[in-house]
Amino acid sequence: MAIQEVVTNLGRRQAIKAATGALFAAASAVDIFHGIGTARAAVLANTPESLGSIKVLAFDFQGSCMNYYDPIAEMGQAINASKGLSLDWSNLTKGWVSNLYKVVGEHQDQYAPAAQLYRDALDQLLDQRNLSSTFNEEERVEMARVWDRMVPWPDTTEGLNRLKRKFALTTLSNSSMASVFQAARRHALPFDQILTGELVQAYKPSPKVYNLVPSLLGYKENEVLFCATHFADLKEAKKFGYKTAWWPRPNETGPGQVTDTSPKPFVDLYARDIVDLASQLGA
């Protein structure tokens, strides 16, 4: 089956793509960063010196540290080739992610495993795009597993390794424990701890998830810097009592993504990427 074959080939293809795509990703981030000069100036009072109480950095994982679009696009190319289709997988990815946010919101009061949410969002997408008859059950199962094959952004590993010299590092993710643990181990990401909403059967923006850091790791709220590329996540983390750091991922959902760079009162530190974050924090 073509979908299964692309799973086998993803590692080799992504290694090549990482080398050729690093410059493009970095250039895109720099271009985006020109638009947040005002935002950064608006928080000059929150210099790294004013963040001196920070002892642990808690990272959103999916999208912020990890690239899910390239694995989806690789899978999509294989599907198009094997089925003789010409589906726009950048557009489909945006729809899948949009559905996923909605499905997560629907399960705030009734927890379901992350794998189920990926699948539910996919089924909704196929219905919305009149593609339900195009994919059978076996293919849908394999497609939903693509979220377990996220790869680090070009700056992620270097940035985290530098930050590890000065701070404790943990994830704070809506993905499953197994998915985040396996991805971190596979790509040698230097997290001291893996925390996800699965531990409390909840999803961000539930305070139960943000509370994992103080409740399980023993840090006070003012000792935590929550780091993410998603403003909604940062807003709730700030409300919980954390300091916050943001950087853009202009290609998170693929070409044509619109990135909001307007100043936000709940963001304490703006960076170009995780390497720049490390530089600003003196790591």
pLDDT in tens, 138-153: 999 999 999 999 999 9
Across the chain, the runs of DSSP E, i.e. the strands, are 56-59, 66-67, 151-152, 168-171, 224-228, 243-246, 269-270
Q: How many CB atoms lie within 10 A of CB 166?
A: 14
| DSSP state at residue 255 | T
Find the Cα–Cα–Cα–Cα dihedral 17, 20, 23, 27, rounded to 10°: -70
The pLDDT assigned to 22 comes to: 44
Phi, psi of 67 (to 5 degrees): -95, 115
Phi, psi of 170 (to 5 degrees): -140, 155
Q: How many CB atoms lie within 10 A of CB 224?
A: 27
Q: CA–CA distance from 61 to each of 108, 229, 275 (Å)? A: 19, 10, 16
Q: Which of 273, 30, 24 is nearest to 156 (CA)?
A: 273
Q: Is the dihedral of CA 8, 14, 15, 16 positive or negative?
A: positive
Q: CA–CA distance from 52 to each of 37, 126, 224 (Å)? A: 23, 48, 11
Reduced to 3 states (helix: H, G, I; strand: E, B; else coil), residue 163 is helix
Show Cβ contacts of residue 83 under 8 Å, excluding neighbours closer than 6 positions: 2, 134
Question: pLDDT-based confidence at 13, cuts 50/70/90?
Answer: low
The pLDDT assigned to 32 comes to: 56
Q: CA–CA distance from 19 to each of 105, 154, 155 (Å)? A: 36, 8, 12
Q: Kindly report the average pLDDT of the chain as a whole number.
A: 89
**pTM: predicted TM-score of the whole model, two decimal places:** 0.86
> Does 166 score more than 90 pLDDT?
yes
> Does 5 score more than 70 pLDDT?
no
> Does 169 score more than 70 pLDDT?
yes
Reduced to 3 states (helix: H, G, I; strand: E, B; else coil), residue 167 is coil
Distance CA 226, CA 242 (A): 6
Q: Is the dihedral of CA 208, 204, 64, 141 positive or negative?
A: positive
**Percent of the chain with pLDDT strictly greater than 70:** 83
Is-contact 240 211, C-beta < 8 A? Answer: yes
Is-contact 60 231, C-beta < 8 A? Answer: no
> Does 212 score more than 60 pLDDT?
yes
Q: Locate all alpha helices (DSSP H) within the chain, ordered by sequence.
A: 2-34, 37-42, 69-83, 89-106, 114-128, 137-144, 156-164, 177-186, 207-210, 212-217, 231-240, 274-280
Q: How many CB atoms lie within 10 A of CB 12?
A: 9
User: pLDDT (tens digit, 9 = 90+) per residue, 170-181?
Assistant: 999 999 999 999
Q: For residue 125, give both structure tokens.
A: 């997408």
The pLDDT assigned to 36 comes to: 56
Q: Which residue has the higher pLDDT, 21 or 167?
A: 167
> Does 29 score more than 50 pLDDT?
no
> Does 6 score more than 70 pLDDT?
no
The pLDDT assigned to 109 comes to: 83
